Amino acid sequence: MNETIHLLKERRSYREFDPEYKLPKEELQAILDASRQAPSWMNGQFYSIIVIQDQAIREQLVSWNPGNPHMLKSSVFLLFVGDLYRTKLVSEAHKSDYLINESIESVLLATTDAALALENAVIAADSFGLGSVVVGSVRKNGKEISKLLELPENTFPLFGLSIGKPIVEMRVKPRLPEALVVHYDRYQRPAYTMIEQYNETMERFGEARETKRWSQKFADYFAAKPALVTDQLLKLQGIIQ
């Protein structure tokens, strides 16, 4: 197994960091450079990365999202933002219409580009012996974060990334069986028994922070009425109608 494949297969999330560890500027720059080199549709690069080092800002983020104190205790917190503001400037310069709010396509473009950049940052951090954890729950406070960080119209917070020196070792979490995820030529409808088998796998894994079976967690999640906070933010930012 080559080094890159080993790094990818051994990736795990870390939530406990040494608050005294200072991430060298060269390593942070290397992570950002790797992140920006991620694939992008038509080279549009429809995202921005906000490097949040200011303690007061990070304290505010944790006050809104107390379940993720690592946003303050990690060495650095990166916020990935879907960015359709730059291309608005392009359209204005070319005196052309900017019809991003007539389709969900622009949201998909920005989200996909940002996610690819995020994954590059995760792997780059791993390569330095650092740990990281993705924070998707920042979207719950997207409106407040947009105001705090002075995000312009046509932008929206997507997810954050805490990076630091881990102080608690984590195990590699089992994934769904390959047969449930990987298909050849055509989609193969899975038997529900395979999901039950994964429930049992995760129970044996015994992650302390999980209080429900895998299937129950998502049955409950998708049964709950959506809060629509992201929809409201996208409308406010002029991205959807």
Tell me what the mean pLDDT of segment 29-40 comes to: 98
- The CA-to-CA distance between both ends of the chain, in Å, stands at 49
Q: What does the pLDDT read at residue 169?
A: 94
> What superfamily would CATH give domain 3-172+226-236?
NADH Oxidase (3.40.109.10)
Q: What does the pLDDT read at residue 1?
A: 78
Which sequence spans correspond to the domains of the chain?
A: 3-172+226-236, 173-210
CA distance linking residue 30 with residue 193, whole number of Å: 44
> Is residue 149 pLDDT above 90, yes or no?
yes
49 φ/ψ angles, rounded to the nearest 5 degrees: -120, 125
Token pair listed for 42: 């038509």
pLDDT digits (tens, 9 = 90+) for 154-163: 999 999 999 9
> Is residue 228 pLDDT above 90, yes or no?
no
pLDDT band at 222 (very low <50, low <70, confident <90, very high): very high
Token pair listed for 113: 């580009």
> Is residue 26 pLDDT above 90, yes or no?
yes
CA distance linking residue 203 with residue 59, whole number of Å: 34
